[in-house]
Homo-oligomer: A and B are copies of this chain.
């Protein structure tokens, strides 16, 4: 119930809105910006001048000229190679670190396997080493404006503490603090639940652009969820919201790492699929999940039956979410992308009998448009949050000489 904003609040909001527009939608002419943001051209000109002076955008000729004859109008383009974030994607079996430019382009990346037995210290060392090599390769005048980690666990919003993450145990380590200190870039490193970031990424740049009510289901070893309600990520009271993997779909069913039985994760997670497919003894990880789906495609009865069983519980889970959220879209990412592709008929059949017609009729089921990079892109988007909220001030602070990294 607060009163209205000040002129300075409005200016800051408008700077952020303009930068956010070109960050998400790409280079745009002043006319497009004026129309899209509901501002007049002189305001757009003043805002662009401020952002240009701060080194966040530049005006230039469009790379693809328009169809109209005559001199093409200038476009406002984000400074993609100069202003960047570091995005860390921590999977149970895989680590990715990327340097992502303003505008969302992945400028450079390091990727490697993670040994399931590796400890917290190994994790930090691997991430820092990859990040340093990315920072070194950035231009001298490039500025890192944020960093964030996608992590497969429940993260407390207040302090980024990891409350529960049985599939990748790092003990009491304060991951964000450790990374921030070791990187020495003078920026904090946020840690977020991987599926929450997946939801953000698909909403802003993936299958869910334009859809303000969507559910993202992420499979790694476990099953996570990220939920966008009315355009915003559902965090809940402490940031633990979206734990779809621990929704009980089969009371008295398979034991789950959380202590309950019949959670969605216990019924559709990697270990269960491999067990149903009689492949517990073989390799695990996303390649093993893909192998089951491929075997089923080739007609392997055991693999087909395994996907059918998993698809049934996935269908119950999706039906419950459709009834509770009335989403426009459900997106399957991580290993659930493959699992869904291998069990779509069964998921849809269970959905048809268990979801209310009103909510079921218009919901779309899709796989993650950003593929294996969904959670990585989400980490990058999260890392851009602060600079997009208050572009000029944040950049001025980060460019101060005492913050120059010494690597």
Question: Beyond the given A1-B36, A3-B17, A250-B251, could you list 5 further A-B residue pairs with CB under 8 A, ordered by the A residue number?
Answer: A1-B37, A4-B9, A4-B39, A240-B326, A243-B324
Q: List chain B residues, Cβ under 8 A from A237.
A: 211-213, 326-328, 362-363
Given contacts A1-B17, A5-B5, A163-B358, contact A234 B240 (CB under 8 A): no
Return A358 CB to nearest CB of chain B, in Å.
4
Q: List chain B residues, Cβ under 8 A from A14.
A: 3-4
Q: Give complex CA distance A295, B129 in Å.
A: 68
Q: List chain B residues, Cβ under 8 A from A240.
A: 326, 356, 358-359
Chain A residues packing against B (C-beta within 8 Å): 1-5, 9-11, 13-14, 17, 20-21, 36-39, 43, 154, 156, 163-164, 211-213, 225, 227, 229-230, 232, 234-244, 246-251, 258-260, 316, 319-321, 323-328, 353-359, 362-363
Given contacts A3-B17, A3-B37, A38-B3, contact A359 B324 (CB under 8 A): no
Return A214 CB to nearest CB of chain B, in Å.
9
Residue of chain B at shortest CB distance from A232? B230
Residue of chain B at shortest CB distance from A329? B237
Given contacts A5-B5, A37-B3, A324-B324, contact A154 B248 (CB under 8 A): no
Q: Give complex CA distance A95, B14 in Å.
A: 49
Q: Give complex CA distance A380, B30 in Å.
A: 46
